[in-house]
Chain A
Amino acid sequence: MPDKLVSLEEALALVPDGCAITAGGFAHSHQPMGFFRALIAEGRKDLSIMGVAECWVAEWLAAAGMLRRAWFSNFMFEGFGRCRRFSEAIEAGEIETEDHSHFGMVMRLVAGGQRLPFMPVLSQGGTDIVSVAGFERPEDKVQSMTSPFPDGRVVTVTSPLNPDVAIIHAARADRLGNVQLFGASSVIEEQTGAARKVIVTVEEIVPSSTFRARPEATLLPGLMVDAVVHLPFGAWPTGVYGYHDPDLPFLRDYYEASREPAACKAWIDRHVRSPRDHWDWLDRAGIVRLLALRTDPVLGYRPAEDKS
């Protein structure tokens, strides 16, 4: 199998202007922020997102003015509130939206990944998700149809979606692109199945023997992956299960800045656009800050009493 290990710069080149992306993660976890920090620093325009829960990716792309369209089901910051720049860009007409339920969105990605013309779903029927147009015509998104089989049941069916690129942050990979992740796998299998190209950034590069010894723990086999980037703390300031907690004070600092457009722009310029590279981004955070996030291997998180 070919060697998939590439530099961050090579991987960034797989995401051109106008690209439709999807990104891994859920809540304050496993979002490929290191990759998107670098993408924003390079600059892109007219990106689309086909997303389920990658709220921080959507928010930073919106804050950087790089996002045009969103097919999605829910972007919000657990424990904080609304994604301000994303939401206000929609209010200003700068980002077009197409809403789904989580399951509806996931099943469109499944249809896309499985080369199926549609997928039946038992949710969404009877609501404005199926009847109010975003940028798609409602009939291009969801319809009801009668089963061709004898029971003739009426079911809701939803059309496929194929992102151009999926960007995932995971725990570890080998050079062949085999990928392992601990904790909840969110929508990674469906996103990578539907995407035309798959980029995975990882905490660690390990030998293939690690996978061959426990193949049942592999989330993505190498044949699903186009590029692997070794990017330690590549999800920071979001967390990586088994490695480090989310950096909630840093995330909150962004959230507070995001209430006001000028303050948010200054925050993005200072923290996201000005680091020279990933290592400078981590250096600015500081090793004390990063190491303090490391999780207890038994609990899977850093217990409250250790945080003081």
Chain B
Amino acid sequence: MSRDALMAAAAAREIGNGEVAFIGTGLPMVAAYLAKATHAPDVTLVFESGIIDPAPLELATGVGEYRLAYGATAIRGTRAALSLLQQGKVDIGFLGTAEIDAYGNLNSTAIGAYRRPEVRLPGSGGANDIASMAARTVIIARTGKRRFVERLNYLTTPGHLTGPGAREVAGLPGAGPVRVITDMGVLGFDPETLRMRAERLFPGVTMEALQAEIGFPLAPPEGPAQEPYPGSETIALLRHIDPEGTYVKLED
């Protein structure tokens, strides 16, 4: 069982039937189509390129790709797509990141000083808008101490900012991140402190091994919590959705 497949299945599970989901390129796109093929046939997928509710025949490798546009019910502009977030129409959004802190704040702008960075990254794009305005978000991030850091180089995209009440002060309408899906397990946030904690570990992963890859203290799950193996139907669907293993490799 590959970690990618576990991640995709965990991400798909976050999507509820009948919801509106704002999706980016990569593993979230595969997870969204997995959800649509299983428990959430009535999910509406929205992309920042302006594509709404498409029915692609092939996996697209970008949100601006013409293959993704096939079968869409609407193709609009970027402002219209992002306005759906501000209008409160989007239930869930997915985010990736170069750095993440204990409150689920993300950096996709710069490593080092902003004006003369050591590494200039691509910038927010729609990520800040999704994180600010979607009703809730799910972050996809592979573990590693350079990614899970105590202090971000630059706060591009809001998680829970400095903790309880901070999003309200900043005027952000969405509730922020509810889950962080990693390659070692699924993390969440303590409802009291809004700091990250472990929720379910992938098979074979110990709390010690997970903590060793995270640059801040992580509370263990409350009670035994192992991520379930995806069933054979899920694996078959993943193979169908992403036959080349572009985003979800079925073997480690």
- Residues on A lying within 8 angstroms of B by beta carbon are 26-29, 52-53, 72-76, 78-79, 82-83, 86-88, 90-93, 96-97, 99-104, 106, 110, 121-129, 132-134, 144, 153-156, 183-190, 239, 241, 245, 295, 299-301, 303-304
Bound together, the chains give a CA A28 to CA B61 distance in angstroms of 11
- Whether A126 touches B167, Cβ cut-off 8 Å, given contacts A79-B62, A96-B115, is yes
How many inter-chain contacts with C-beta < 8 Å in the A-B complex? 200
- Whether A128 touches B125, Cβ cut-off 8 Å, given contacts A78-B61, A79-B61, is no
- Whether A127 touches B123, Cβ cut-off 8 Å, given contacts A27-B63, A78-B63, A103-B82, is no
Question: Contacting A99 at CB < 8 Å: which of B58, B70, B109, B116?
Answer: B109
Q: Mark B136-163, 1 if CB is under 8 A from A, else 0.
A: 0000000000000000001111100100
Residue of B nearest to A84 (CB): B120
A160 to chain B minimum Cβ distance, whole angstroms, is: 15
B211 to chain A minimum Cβ distance, whole angstroms, is: 28
Chain B residues closer than 8 Å to A303, beta-carbon distance: 57-58
Name, among B118, B129, B155, B161, the residue most crowded by chain A CB atoms within 10 Å (CB to CB). B129
Within 8 A of A (CB), among B41-76: 48-51, 57-58, 61-67, 69-70, 75-76
Closest 9 A/B residue pairs (Cβ): A27-B64, A126-B170, A74-B125, A78-B62, A76-B122, A101-B128, A123-B132, A301-B66, A125-B170
- Whether A106 touches B133, Cβ cut-off 8 Å, given contacts A75-B123, A96-B115, A186-B77, is no
Is A82 a contact partner of B121 (Cβ separation < 8 A)? yes
B173 interface hit (Cβ, 8 Å): yes
Question: Contacting A102 at CB < 8 Å: which of B116, B124, B154, B170?
Answer: B124
Is B70 a contact partner of A28 (Cβ separation < 8 A)? no
Bound together, the chains give a CA A129 to CA B108 distance in angstroms of 11
Task: Give the contact-size bracket for chain B.
Answer: 35 or more
B175 interface hit (Cβ, 8 Å): no
Name, among A26, A123, A185, A300, the residue most crowded by chain B CB atoms within 10 Å (CB to CB). A123
- Whether A106 touches B156, Cβ cut-off 8 Å, given contacts A134-B115, A184-B49, A239-B66, is no
B164 interface hit (Cβ, 8 Å): no
Residue of A nearest to B105 (CB): A127
Question: Contacting B124 at CB < 8 Å: which of A29, A100, A122, A132?
Answer: A100
Could you list 13 further interchain pairs (A-B, Cβ under 8 angstroms) beyond the known A73-B124, A78-B25, A134-B114?
A: A78-B61, A82-B122, A93-B115, A99-B124, A101-B128, A102-B126, A121-B86, A128-B156, A132-B154, A154-B171, A156-B170, A189-B79, A239-B66
Chain B residues closer than 8 Å to A188, beta-carbon distance: 77
Chain A residues closer than 8 Å to B178, beta-carbon distance: none
Bound together, the chains give a CA A299 to CA B127 distance in angstroms of 29
Q: Mark B168-182, 1 if CB is under 8 A from A, else 0.
A: 011111000000000
Chain A residues closer than 8 Å to B132, beta-carbon distance: 101, 122-125
B236 interface hit (Cβ, 8 Å): no
A251 to chain B minimum Cβ distance, whole angstroms, is: 12
Is A28 a contact partner of B170 (Cβ separation < 8 A)? no
Bound together, the chains give a CA A123 to CA B133 distance in angstroms of 6
Name B's interface SS: loop
- Whether A87 touches B120, Cβ cut-off 8 Å, given contacts A78-B64, A102-B125, A125-B172, is yes
Chain B residues closer than 8 Å to A110, beta-carbon distance: 79
Chain B residues closer than 8 Å to A83, beta-carbon distance: 122
Question: Contacting A126 at CB < 8 Å: which of B65, B120, B161?
Answer: B161
Is B122 a contact partner of A75 (Cβ separation < 8 A)? yes
Bound together, the chains give a CA A122 to CA B84 distance in angstroms of 12
B117 interface hit (Cβ, 8 Å): yes
Bound together, the chains give a CA A88 to CA B112 distance in angstroms of 13
Bound together, the chains give a CA A124 to CA B131 distance in angstroms of 9
B114 to chain A minimum Cβ distance, whole angstroms, is: 5
Bound together, the chains give a CA A99 to CA B125 distance in angstroms of 9
Name, among B126, B132, B155, B173, the residue most crowded by chain A CB atoms within 10 Å (CB to CB). B132
Is A99 a contact partner of B123 (Cβ separation < 8 A)? yes
Residue of B nearest to A184 (CB): B50
